[in-house]
Structure 1
Amino acid sequence: MKDVAIQSYAKEIIHIESKAIENLENLIDKSFSDAVNAIYNSKGRVILTGIGKSAIIATKIVATLNSTGTPAVFMHAADAIHGDLGTILRDDIVICISKSGNTPEIKVLAPLIKNFKNTLIAITGNKDSFLGKQADFVLNSYVDKEACPNNLAPTTSTTAQLVLGDALAVCLLKLRGFSSDDFARFHPGGSLGKTLYLRVSDITSQNMKPQVSPETTTKDVIVEISKNMLGVTAVLENGKVVGIITDGDLRRMLSSTEDFTKLKAKDIMSKNPKTIKNSAMAIDALELLENNDITQLIAVNSGEYAGIVHLHNLVKEGII
């Protein structure tokens, strides 16, 4: 198959799935809002279950719920009827995912859940199926056809299930007033976590604090910058930051001055340097660096010099 044909076919598949997802808006009804409220008001967890590809979708929804403040557990439908029903506690709500709603495992499992008096929510493409009729609430994931040319492989249908799971999780997030700080507590690892919790103070506490006075000689300025390995030094007067000297400032000075031995820090420094509060988020420091096309920032704490944030620090921390 030629490249053009492959690309055309891929676009057709995306179009089929996107139209199905768009149609989900028309299927959101009171049953959806009732299901959200039932979970929100529940004292238990959310147990998600399914068979085949629906089970895989269930595990992803579990991950999304857990990361957004709704405790959730996955229970495979086949394992459930062979001993794992003990996973379900008295106050738990069970969400069962099945395109047809009529698979053998689901037909066995649904009545057992109802016998336990647990609330049962169905995500199914067939509201009139066995599962649909057993469920307390039905989230309709109906799709006209699969993206598979044989209309067999779960493609569009599993995408629809996933989108409904996302809608459920985010509605619950909104109800709980789940903030970025809450999200950070559940995502401490990786670059995503660091953008949510890493502060400027976490960086400055690990860096040297190069500093000179306005009267410091050029030679001593160069020594201070070299010694602290940040390519910069703050210029302090009476404990306050009055300027900054970078490697770039030194190069420009050397290229424009024949005799720099009489020059002092005050003659080289850039006045009114960009600063950031030591308590600010590291991601805010990155934005300030990028917006001003600079590589170093002076951090301050209540107006006092707190240290240096270098672009390389943010690269090392994985913020970039």
Structure 2
Amino acid sequence: MNKHQTIINSANQVFELEGQAILNLKSYINDDFVKVVDLIYNSKGRVIITGIGKSAIIGNKIVATLNSTGTPAIFMHAAEAIHGDLGLILKDDVVICISKSGNTPEIKVLIPLIKSAQNTLIAITGNADSFLGQHCDFFLNTYVEKEACPLNLAPTTSTTAQLAMGDALAVCLLEVRGFSSRDFAKYHPGGALGKKLYLRVLDISSQNNKPEVHPDTNIKEVIMNISKNMLGVTAVIENQKIVGIITDGDLRRMLTKTDNFISLTAKDIMGVAPKVINEHAMAIKALELMETNDISQLLVCDDNDSYAGVVHIHDLIKEGII
């Protein structure tokens, strides 16, 4: 077997081992899991997640997932906890300890301290007979038969199982809370997904110039207006209402149709019934309109149907909507 095929086979074996390990977790979801979800949901405190080594890294990720889906969580490194960080744990906090073996020295020192403070202790471990498994209040089993590492040493399958168990907790808590996409946006205001959920047209159009001409504006002024505002478009306005639109494309088409354009005015070349969007509409809606109509700009109106500005597809790209 050549090197190329050996590498592919090794990668596929990792996927098979870890994938099967995750599926095996289904048989470990029991009353303890349900009670843990209810406990965390009804808790007045936070979730404190602790661990050491690779389990600590997994713990950090689970903390991030919980926080982003509405469950306040903090990571506390097991080694640092017994050297001062134990003060992170407050009276109403729930503690989740992650460990493959459940018998590491730091865990053995930490567990009695947590229990003496009367905080509820949840174990995520694959060893029910371990010190952690025997002294926890609730046991979430993440047992795996073997690591994906061919030496069966490097934490691979075991940490994948831990991560999957944490994800299952986070998702169940999200569903129990009735956590919505709008709630998600509150916790991700800077991300592209968050912007799709909360960013409105006004947030973008208010940062642009507001190009406009009147129906009788001569063509030279129209060209200057479009060039000055650098949006590739100008609105044709009468009594604050949008009566037409002139784009760069309209100017090019004008040049192909006539050599004598000096006497033309805006109304002679404008497009009528332009696509318009309300300033309070979601920015993602503006993108949908542009894509549906194969255009790059939309005119914006306020609640009185008065002209309010322009939103350009480049604005949406800049904001990460696309």
Aligned to 2:8: 7
Once the two structures are superposed, the pairs formed by residues 87-236 of structure 1 within 5 Å of their partners are 87-236=88-237
Q: What is the DSSP-based 3-state SS (H/G/I as helix, E as strand, rest coil) of the residue aligned with 1:249?
A: helix
Q: How many residues are matched?
A: 320
- Rounded to whole Å, the distance in 2 between the matches of 1:206 and 1:293 is 23
Once the two structures are superposed, residues 134-175 of structure 1 have per-residue CA deviations (whole angstroms, 9 ceiling, x without a partner) of 111121212222111111111111111111111111221222
- Rounded to whole Å, the distance in 2 between the matches of 1:249 and 1:2 is 60
- Rounded to whole Å, the distance in 2 between the matches of 1:129 and 1:272 is 73
- Rounded to whole Å, the distance in 2 between the matches of 1:218 and 1:8 is 68
- Rounded to whole Å, the distance in 1 between the matches of 2:78 and 2:15 is 30
Q: What is the DSSP-based 3-state SS (H/G/I as helix, E as strand, rest coil) of the residue aligned with 1:260?
A: coil
Once the two structures are superposed, residues 109-128 of structure 1 have per-residue CA deviations (whole angstroms, 9 ceiling, x without a partner) of 22221221111111111233
After superposition, the Cα gap between the structure-2 partners of 1:229 and 1:76, relative to the gap in structure 1 and judged at 3 Å, is same
- Rounded to whole Å, the distance in 2 between the matches of 1:246 and 1:22 is 57
Aligned to 1:70: 71
Q: What is the DSSP-based 3-state SS (H/G/I as helix, E as strand, rest coil) of the residue aligned with 1:105?
A: helix
TM-score by length of 1: 0.94
Q: Which runs of 5+ in 2 are unaligned?
A: none
Q: What is the DSSP-based 3-state SS (H/G/I as helix, E as strand, rest coil) of the residue aligned with 1:48?
A: strand
Q: What is the DSSP-based 3-state SS (H/G/I as helix, E as strand, rest coil) of the residue aligned with 2:124?
A: strand
- Rounded to whole Å, the distance in 2 between the matches of 1:266 and 1:21 is 66
- Please report how far the alpha carbon of residue 41 of structure 1 lies from its aligned counterpart in structure 2 after TM superposition: 0.6
- Rounded to whole Å, the distance in 1 between the matches of 2:274 and 2:149 is 60
User: Relative to structure 2, which stretch is displaced further, 263-272 or 203-212?
Assistant: 263-272
Once the two structures are superposed, residues 51-108 of structure 1 have per-residue CA deviations (whole angstroms, 9 ceiling, x without a partner) of 1100111111111112222111111112222332222111110000011222222222
Q: Which runs of 5+ in 1 are unaligned?
A: none
- Rounded to whole Å, the distance in 1 between the matches of 2:15 and 2:176 is 32
- Rounded to whole Å, the distance in 2 between the matches of 1:208 and 1:85 is 55
Once the two structures are superposed, residues 267-308 of structure 1 have per-residue CA deviations (whole angstroms, 9 ceiling, x without a partner) of 322222222221122222223222322111111111221110
Aligned to 2:321: 319
TM-score by length of 2: 0.93
- Of all paired residues, the percent bearing the same amino acid is 69
- Rounded to whole Å, the distance in 1 between the matches of 2:162 and 2:115 is 22
